[in-house]
């Protein structure tokens, strides 16, 4: 009788393990519905060709765009210093976790500090902004918030790119 109980328990445990393994296999063998969403694919395309990664993904330009998608849009501690003070590219993955899709559409069109080309977002269609939102949200939260912007004349403790127009003179021949 003890042997029979063990066999039954063993068979039950074996069956349970098989079912769990099959479920895990199904989970990973079929892409999520979100991965098939054309809006998410369009959002990725817009982020890539729109140059968002140039500032919002650390090291993207230096790597000629060869940064895994999973690392995109986490912001950067590199500051942009000019007459406006020092600004930083936000971690969009954290920013968008706090916004609904409708809030993002409004937020994206608000004027920002240079060098952010906020007017490009302002002029995008609602559908394109929503596609970007869906793609960024699909990436999920990751990383740290970028440093806060600093007013003109305030010293920051991060590397900066200085935007300082100068009139260069050329040697006369």
- According to the model, what pLDDT value does residue 171 have? 72
Global pTM reads 0.76
The verdict on residue 109 lying in a domain is yes
- According to the model, what pLDDT value does residue 104 have? 98
| Residue 167 or 25, more confident | 167
The verdict on residue 38 lying in a domain is yes
CATH of the domain at 143: 1.10.760
CA–CA separation, 131 and 109 (whole Å): 15
**Structural domain harbouring 125:** 34-77+90-147
In terms of Cα–Cα distance, which of 108, 131, 105 is closest to 46? 131
pLDDT score of 167 more than 90? no
The verdict on residue 50 lying in a domain is yes
In the chain, how many domains are there?
Answer: 1
The verdict on residue 13 lying in a domain is no
The verdict on residue 43 lying in a domain is yes
The verdict on residue 122 lying in a domain is yes
The verdict on residue 28 lying in a domain is no
The verdict on residue 155 lying in a domain is no
pLDDT in tens, 84-94: 999 999 999 99
Q: What angle do CA 96, 58, 44 make, to 5 degrees?
A: 50
């Amino acid at each position: 009788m003890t042997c029979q109980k063990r066999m039954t328990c063993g068979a039950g445990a074996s069956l349970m393990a098989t079912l769990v393994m099959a479920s895990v296999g199904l989970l990973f063998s079929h892409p999520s519905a979100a991965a098939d969403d054309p809006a998410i694919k369009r959002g990725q395309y817009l982020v890539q060709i729109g140059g968002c990664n140039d500032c919002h993904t650390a090291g993207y330009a230096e790597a000629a765009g060869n940064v895994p998608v999973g690392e995109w849009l986490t912001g950067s501690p590199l500051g942009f210093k000019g007459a406006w003070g020092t600004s930083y590219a936000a971690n969009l993955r954290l920013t968008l976790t706090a916004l609904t899709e409708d809030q993002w559409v409004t937020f994206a069109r608000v004027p920002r500090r240079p060098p952010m080309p906020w007017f490009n977002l302002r002029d995008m269609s609602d559908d394109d902004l929503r596609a970007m939102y869906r793609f960024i949200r699909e990436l999920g939260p990751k990383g740290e918030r970028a440093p806060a912007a600093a007013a003109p004349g305030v010293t920051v403790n991060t590397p900066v790119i200085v935007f300082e127009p100068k009139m260069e003179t050329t040697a006369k021949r």
